[in-house]
């Protein structure tokens, strides 16, 4: 199934060729004008390295832990609620992550049940939004725990933005005959993708098994989205409630501001991810790599601080670690790998990142990711953004 690719940019090109236009468009996502989406990658490109030429290290170590899980490189899978990319979906991603020694974040909007994903990767964190009533949330948490999920990721940064200047793909409520007729030209123009699905039991059903209670009819992606939109918005007390209901490692994903980071510490979280949801959210939110240093300075000694958004290369990972992140999470990079070549494509992406991290460590004269400091990167004047620092909590 396809050949090895050497960069994430190539994975993206192959995914674009292989996937139907709507599916590819759903992975690209972004919101409004795409300012945040573009800044996420542009900001990494603004940072430079300060390499050495001698006394370099022959051995470079990149193992670490995130929320108690041993990982062989400082990159984990960020949860993404996407459908129809590949028949094995998140199970393929989980297998790839396990094969490469890292952890898996599983979205509650994912296409595969948490039980199957944990069976493929025992280092699985289950991700939840604030949706439904508290009983429903507890049921979903308990199901994830019973399945063996080893951590919870609460994502609270969603702002229900509803347009993009480059247009949104059409996604049907369910693939009934009418939808199939409308989708057919796209599907038929991507025979490799179509055959993969037909070989493994037919067209994607666009349901969200982790939000469906046992014995209930499968909830569709859009049905669940509607439930979410109608849910009263959470308070910090609600965050503390959710954290208490999950007795295990807990990450709050989507924190950009220093004051919010402090409140997250007060709520008892294990970790945060500095993130703007990959630029799919409130457009104009700066790239997380710009907001990271201030957040690390405020809370980095009390909780694990991760970053996600815009990571496309091993060098990006090293930049984030040098500026204080413990590890990063990737979204589109592995989705493109999955779209390009299934499990092998995700493994390929993780190998690209590993190679890039190793190369940057070599150049920087570091023998371990744990030795990285801000001194290793060139930060141009005015690069960082401190969000919400005026209020001390």
Ligand X SMILES: Cc1cc2nc3c(=O)[nH]c(=O)nc-3n(C[C@H](O)[C@H](O)[C@H](O)COP(=O)(O)O)c2cc1C
Binding site for ligand X (CB under 6 A): 26-27, 29, 40, 78-82, 107, 109, 127, 155, 253, 275, 277-278, 280, 308-311, 330-333
Which residues have a Cβ under 8 Å from the Cβ of 111 and sit 6 or more positions away?
82, 83, 84, 89, 90, 204, 206, 207, 208, 209
Least distance to ligand X, CB of residue 339, Å: 11
Q: Which is nearer to ligand X, 60 or 314 (CB)?
A: 314
Q: Which is nearer to ligand X, 60 or 306 (CB)?
A: 306
Least distance to ligand X, CB of residue 391, Å: 25
The DSSP result for 266-322, as a single string, is HTT-SEEEEE-GGGTSSTTPPPHHHHHHHHHHHHTTTSEEEEESS--SHHHHHHHHH
Q: Which is nearer to ligand X, 26 or 267 (CB)?
A: 26
Q: Which is nearer to ligand X, 61 or 227 (CB)?
A: 227
Chain position whose Cβ is nearest to ligand X = 331
Which member of 52, 86, 277, 370 is catalytic?
277
Nearest-angstrom CA–CA distance, 121 and 90: 10
Least distance to ligand X, CB of residue 107, Å: 3
Least distance to ligand X, CB of residue 312, Å: 7
Please say if 52 is a catalytic residue.
no
Query: 202-238: b or e for each residue (b if 16 or more CB lie within 10 Å)?
Result: ebbebbbbbbbeeeeeebbbebbbebbeeeeeeeeeb
Pairing of strands 250-255, 151-155: parallel
Residue 30 tokens read as: 């972004």
Which residues are part of the catalytic machinery?
277
């Amino acid at each position: 199934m396809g050949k090895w690719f050497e960069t994430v940019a190539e994975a993206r090109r192959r995914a674009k060729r292989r996937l139907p236009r709507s599916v590819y468009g759903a992975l690209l996502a972004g919101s409004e004008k795409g300012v945040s989406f573009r800044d996420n990658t542009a900001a990494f490109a603004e940072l430079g390295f300060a390499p050495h030429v001698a006394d370099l290290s022959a051995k470079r170590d990149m193992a670490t832990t995130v929320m108690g899980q041993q990982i062989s490189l400082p990159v984990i899978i960020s949860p993404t609620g996407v459908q129809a990319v590949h028949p094995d979906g998140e199970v393929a991603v989980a297998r790839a992550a396990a094969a490469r020694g890292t952890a898996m974040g599983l979205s509650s909007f994912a296409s595969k049940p948490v039980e199957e994903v944990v069976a493929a990767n025992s280092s699985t964190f289950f991700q939840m939004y604030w949706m439904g009533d508290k009983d429903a949330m507890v049921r979903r948490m308990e199901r994830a725990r019973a399945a063996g999920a080893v951590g919870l990721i609460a994502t609270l940064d969603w702002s229900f933005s509803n347009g993009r200047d480059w247009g949104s793909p059409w996604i049907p409520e369910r693939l009934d005959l009418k939808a199939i007729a409308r989708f057919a030209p796209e599907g038929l123009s991507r025979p490799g993708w179509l055959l993969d699905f037909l070989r493994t039991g037919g067209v994607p059903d666009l349901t969200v098994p982790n939000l469906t209670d046992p014995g209930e009819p499968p909830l569709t992606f859009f049905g669940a989205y509607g439930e979410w939109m109608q849910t009263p918005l959470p308070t910090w007390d609600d965050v503390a409630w959710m954290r208490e209901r999950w007795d295990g490692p807990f990450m709050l994903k989507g924190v950009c501001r220093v004051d919010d980071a402090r409140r997250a510490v007060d709520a008892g979280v294990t970790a945060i991810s500095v993130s703007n949801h990959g630029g799919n959210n409130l457009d104009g939110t700066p790239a997380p790599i710009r907001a990271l240093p201030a957040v690390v300075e405020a809370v980095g000694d009390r909780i694990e601080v991760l970053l996600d958004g815009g990571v496309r290369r091993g060098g990006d990972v090293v930049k984030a670690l040098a500026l204080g992140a413990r590890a990063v999470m990737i979204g589109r990079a592995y989705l493109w790998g999955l779209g390009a070549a299934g499990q092998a494509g995700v493994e390929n992406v993780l190998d690209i990142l590993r190679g890039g991290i190793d190369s940057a460590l070599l150049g920087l004269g570091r023998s371990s990711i744990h030795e990285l400091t801000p001194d290793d990167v060139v930060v141009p004047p005015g690069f960082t953004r401190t969000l919400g620092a005026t209020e001390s909590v």
